[in-house]
Structure 1
Amino acid sequence: MTDDWAPGERAPAMLRSGIRLRQGAPAEAQGHSSPQEAPAVSGLALRTFCRSLTRLRGAECLREVLARLPAPLAEALGVGGLQPEAWCPIAWLIDLHQTAQRVTGSDLRLSRELGYEGTRDNLRGSHRFYVTNGDTSVVLRRAPQIFSLFFRGAGLLQVTPLGPSRGGAATGHAIARWTDTVAFTDSLWQEQLGSCEAALELSGARVQSLSFTTGGRSGSPITELEARWSTR
């Protein structure tokens, strides 16, 4: 899969404008989307990306990525960095993914690795409240709230468990459904895929399969992801 616009090109203008850097509380638990609000990503997400890239590819790689970014984003990530609760244009995260792919010579697999690494970092640290080892039902129930920590005005997430996921059951099955996520690119969907994998593993699951059954591409208004796992 590739972004609808090639890696290295700017995101469409409609994603790059119409929003100011701002502070604010996370959106409601189900996510937040309204026609009056431009798609935004939290400062937490951008900081997580930078930490994860450093862990995976080293500090020199991050420095090279930052040097190639558009000036507003490079300045925001510069001295002092962004506050976690800041809300920024979602195009900034798209730029980070595309620039990291160019610098490293990687493809979309890097975005999935970054999503995995970042989620492991966050859910083992300050956001460990959202997962309980040995009980996947907790992270399934709280997944929409986790999504709203990172994205605002970018769509809604709903998770539906379809099989046993707690107690003595040895298997689990669930569907995650995102709606109104037209601002997402292939890179961001691969990041979500890695994030889902990490969240399930931190809940004690052994992921058997994890794949998009609908959407999961740049501009998809509806995306569904099916997950199956074992707990023994």
Structure 2
Amino acid sequence: MEETRVKGQGFRGIIAAVESQHGKGALERARAAMDPDVRLDGIVASGWYPMSWYRELHRAAAIAIPGVPDLAFELGKEAMRKDLRGVYRFILSILGPDRSFSHAERVLSTYFEGARFEVVERRPDGLTARFFELRGMDDACWNDLLGGTTIVAEAPAGRGGRLRR
């Protein structure tokens, strides 16, 4: 089965997060550590790219920024925080956690082609959900996704939003 493809916006978000959180030097080191077949300069926000390139981006970031616990999680959070600026954050705050997660599959599929999200259980203190059809993701990709999802959970819930793996 073919790997899931990743939207260019996802790449651009992680690239911007590396630079904003760790500096231009870290981004340059990450680019230097990447497989030369992966061409980040040609990535456009609306394009779809191989999951293998996304794994490579995270691998190179980890080499360029050693010793940072939960690096992929933090980069995912920062990338989503920037994506959910202004009106998007306001809309999520109006919807509230329960209704915002009912739209999560639509949001997820804008970053990962064909990805699915399902709320398994709803409780007064939260919900349980699962992701599927995300083929080819490694631990860094999953942690990136969880970091971004944490921001989506926190936006409507305020500081009480929590996400567990």
SS of aligned partner of 1:150 = coil
TM-score by length of 2: 0.87
Q: Which has the higher contact order (CA 8 A, sep 6+)?
A: 2
In 2: Cα distance, 1:95 partner to 1:52 partner: 16
Larger Rg belongs to: 1
- The yes-or-no answer on 1:157 pairing with 2:117 is yes
- In terms of fraction of residues, the more helix-rich structure is 2
Q: Which residue of 2 aligns with 1:193?
A: 146
What is the total number of aligned residue pairs between the two structures? 165
In 1: Cα distance, 2:157 partner to 2:71 partner: 24
Q: Percent identity?
A: 25
Which amino acid in 1 is paired with 2:103?
Answer: R
TM-score by length of 1: 0.64
Q: Which residue of 2 aligns with 1:55?
A: 20
Which amino acid in 2 is paired with 1:194?
Answer: G
- The yes-or-no answer on 1:95 pairing with 2:56 is yes
Instruction: From the superposition, tell whether residues 39 and 130 of structure 1 become closer, same or farther in structure 2 (CA, over 3 Å).
Output: farther
Asked if the contact 1:108–1:186 (Cα under 8 Å) also holds between the matched residues in 2, the reply is no
- Any gaps of 5 or more consecutive residues in structure 1? 1-34, 165-171, 213-232
| 4+ runs deviating over 6 angstroms | none
- Any gaps of 5 or more consecutive residues in structure 2? none
Instruction: From the superposition, tell whether residues 109 and 134 of structure 1 become closer, same or farther in structure 2 (CA, over 3 Å).
Output: same
- The Cα of 1:115 is off from its aligned counterpart by 0.9
In 2: Cα distance, 1:88 partner to 1:143 partner: 21
- In terms of fraction of residues, the more strand-rich structure is 1
- Aligned CA RMSD, in angstroms, stands at 2.3
5 Å matches for 1:221-232?
none
SS of aligned partner of 2:76 = helix
- Structure 2 counterpart of 1:178, from 131, 141, 150: 131
SS of aligned partner of 2:98 = helix
